[in-house]
Amino acid sequence: MNALVWFRRDLRADDHAALFHALKHHERVFCAFVLDTDILDALPRADRRVEFIVDALRVLDADLAALAPGAGLIVRHGTAREQIPALAAELGVDALYFNHDDEPDALRRDADVGATLLARGVQVESFKDHVVFERSEILTGSRKPYGVFTPYKNAWLREINPFFLSSYPVGRYAAHLAEAPPRGVPSLGDIGFEPAGLAAALSGGSAGAQRLFDEFLERIDRYGDARDFPAAKGPSYLSTHLRFGTISIRRLAREAWTRAYAPTGGQAVSAGAQVWLSELIWRDFYHQVLHHHPQVVGGAFRPEYDRIAWADGPDADADFEAWCQGRTGYPLVDAAMHQINETGYMHNRLRMVVASFLIKDLGIDWRRGEAYFAEKLIDFDLAANNGGWQWASSSGCDAQPYFRIFNPVNQSEKFDPDGKFIKRYLPQLAKLPPKLIHAPWLAKPAELAACGIVLGRDYPEPVVRHETARMATMARYAVVKDRTFPDA
């Protein structure tokens, strides 16, 4: 019997649930990926995500060939709804295997492909692979999904054990990999794209992911202290690899859980690993929210927040454009927006800062910011991006309180005290000393002149005053509870 494994957001050959099960139960297993025009046609012709995918596909193709002579990846360009059934017929397979994707568009696509193949008598099997616990595996005592993170995390930690973190031994059955047609992986140009400037640190597919992880493990113990400072090397930088599955979530969570809660060989418990594991659990949490509450795509998790009247019209559009381009006059906000525009990445602390600024300083609908991040972030993940923006807007699961409004100057002084990150992305402010760089408009004219800076020429005046904007936000949010909010 022959089977086809359909790769999607799981671009690796090791510890791969669908590939393992297909190899275990079938004599010949083909592997395929579709460069889906239903997705690609909506993207700019230079897109870092497409560049990352094509690079990862080359590595995956080589990794499959290393597992079995002649094996490799079949890559098709077209709609998955057409290409997968056509390929299954061409190869004469008896079964299709793939891993779950709980994004609404993906669920509809998978249902369409599955229905087509089932009607032809082809077996369809799918598996959990992208998260540690999915869908309804972690529920409350009343068998309902969690809506608050901390109880979810506690339940997650009670449930976890080595079984859920163990790897799928793909290599054990690698001899069942079928020989692939000799077409290979297309280039960016072959599919109508061009290089977008993918960072070297993100190249190399699964091999690159492993290098990043090995490097992170050398400093994971310091993660809890370093992760909030954008000028420091604090994060793991694995978010893109997690998004596209070039490294296994089980591999990461197993290492974090062991160091955090079950160290061996006389090792001490790692506080940094505990914090990092919490971030991985947040990822599971947001995916189960998306599964149980797909209405969060386009609407507030807490529907009463959809009553908020957001700023609109030409002035709001101008403010939004200033935010997108990093011209708000708040250096940390602007540096963060330059980072995402120039690299496709933004530090996690800064994602919270710029989201809070857009929503609660400029009064702009969180969905506009969510869509901008979806366009720019190379690690864009619908569940996490939506969850983060709803957290910032106070409309989502376990969101920050409505009256919690980040002060962008205080955040700058606390997390970039010397202005190193700001100077990296706003070199026009490089001569400002730390005491002035966080709020240049408070500097005396002579101080700015000494640094060769004229506000309005070299760097913009603030588009809004935080103190005034905060009061407007309190009034805007009052409609949610039909009362005036307390000071905070």
Which of 239, 260, 292 delimits the end of a domain?
Answer: 292
Q: Is the pLDDT of residue 488 over 70?
A: no
> In this predicted structure, what is the pLDDT of residue 70?
95
Decide if 123 is inside a domain.
Answer: yes
Active site residue 366: yes
Catalytic residue among 2, 82, 310, 375: 310
Q: What is the pLDDT of residues 255-294, one digit of tens each?
A: 999 999 988 777 789 999 999 999 999 999 999 999 999 9
Catalytic residue among 125, 134, 279, 375: 279
Decide if 433 is inside a domain.
Answer: yes
Q: What is the pLDDT of residues 435-482, one digit of tens each?
A: 999 999 999 999 999 999 999 999 999 999 999 999 999 999 998 874
269 and 145 fall within a common domain: yes
Q: What is the pLDDT of residues 188-209, one digit of tens each?
A: 999 999 999 999 889 999 999 9
Catalytic residue among 257, 323, 389, 391: 389
The count of domains in the chain is 3
> In this predicted structure, what is the pLDDT of residue 249?
98
| Assigned token pair, 421 | 């990150």
Catalytic residue among 276, 282, 323, 391: 282
98 and 163 fall within a common domain: no
| Nearest in space to 17 (alpha carbons), one of 113, 93, 129, 121 | 129
Q: What is the pLDDT of residues 384-404, one digit of tens each?
A: 999 999 999 999 987 778 788
Phi, psi of 120 (to 5 degrees): -95, 0
Q: Is the pLDDT of residue 166 over 70?
A: yes
145 and 217 fall within a common domain: yes
The neighbour count for residue 84, using CB atoms within 10 Å, is 26
Residue type, 121: G
> In this predicted structure, what is the pLDDT of residue 27?
97
Q: What is the pLDDT of residues 428-448, one digit of tens each?
A: 999 999 999 999 999 999 999
283 and 325 fall within a common domain: no
- Decide: helix, strand or coil at residue 475: helix
What sections of 306-399 are H helices per DSSP? 314-325, 331-343, 348-356, 366-376, 382-392
* Mean pLDDT of the chain, nearest integer: 95
Catalytic residue among 366, 370, 385, 391: 366
Which of 371-409 are b and which e, b meaning 16 or more Cβ less than 10 Å from the residue's Cβ?
ebbeebbbbbbbbbbbbbbbbbbbbbbbbbebeebbbbb
Active site residue 282: yes
> In this predicted structure, what is the pLDDT of residue 49?
97
Phi, psi of 31 (to 5 degrees): -125, 135
321 and 452 fall within a common domain: yes
272 and 364 fall within a common domain: no
138 and 216 fall within a common domain: yes
158 and 98 fall within a common domain: no
List C-alpha distances in Å: 331 to 170, 233, 441, 458: 49, 20, 11, 12
Active site residue 348: yes
Which of 292, 327, 342 delimits the end of a domain?
Answer: 292
Active site residue 410: no
CA atoms of 395 and 387, how far apart (whole Å): 9
Mean pLDDT of all residues in 398-413: 89
CA atoms of 375 and 372, how far apart (whole Å): 5
274 and 346 fall within a common domain: no
- Decide: helix, strand or coil at residue 74: strand
For residue 48, give the H/E element and its range.
Answer: helix 48-67
Residue type, 360: K
For residue 230, give the H/E element and its range.
Answer: none
Mean pLDDT of all residues in 45-53: 97
Q: Is the pLDDT of residue 484 over 90?
A: no
List C-alpha distances in Å: 6 to 39, 49, 88: 16, 19, 10
112 and 64 fall within a common domain: yes
For residue 94, give the H/E element and its range.
Answer: none
The range of the structural domain enclosing residue 48 comes to: 2-129
CA atoms of 104 and 108, how far apart (whole Å): 6
The neighbour count for residue 258, using CB atoms within 10 Å, is 17
Decide if 394 is inside a domain.
Answer: yes
Q: How confident is the model at residue 42 (pLDDT cuts 50, 70, 90)?
A: very high
Mean pLDDT of all residues in 96-111: 98
| Nearest in space to 219 (alpha carbons), one of 282, 155, 176, 270 | 270
> In this predicted structure, what is the pLDDT of residue 401?
80
Using a pLDDT cut of 70, give the percent of the chain over it. Answer: 98
List C-alpha distances in Å: 56 to 33, 44, 65, 198, 449: 11, 19, 14, 12, 49
> In this predicted structure, what is the pLDDT of residue 480?
86
Catalytic residue among 2, 341, 348, 407: 348
We report the CATH number of the domain holding residue 341 as 1.10.579.10
Decide if 196 is inside a domain.
Answer: no
List C-alpha distances in Å: 243 to 256, 382, 453: 18, 10, 41
DSSP structural state of residue 177: B
Give strand pairing partners of 98. Answer: 6, 126
Active site residue 51: no
Q: How confident is the model at residue 487 (pLDDT cuts 50, 70, 90)?
A: very low
CA atoms of 215 and 67, how far apart (whole Å): 26
326 and 475 fall within a common domain: yes
Q: What is the pLDDT of residues 289-326, one digit of tens each?
A: 999 999 999 999 999 999 999 999 999 999 999 999 99
Rg (Cα) of the chain, in Å, rounded? 24
Q: How confident is the model at residue 227 (pLDDT cuts 50, 70, 90)?
A: very high
Using a pLDDT cut of 90, give the percent of the chain over it. Answer: 93
24 and 137 fall within a common domain: no
Q: How confident is the model at residue 370 (pLDDT cuts 50, 70, 90)?
A: very high
DSSP structural state of residue 76: E
CA atoms of 427 and 439, how far apart (whole Å): 15
- Decide: helix, strand or coil at residue 6: strand
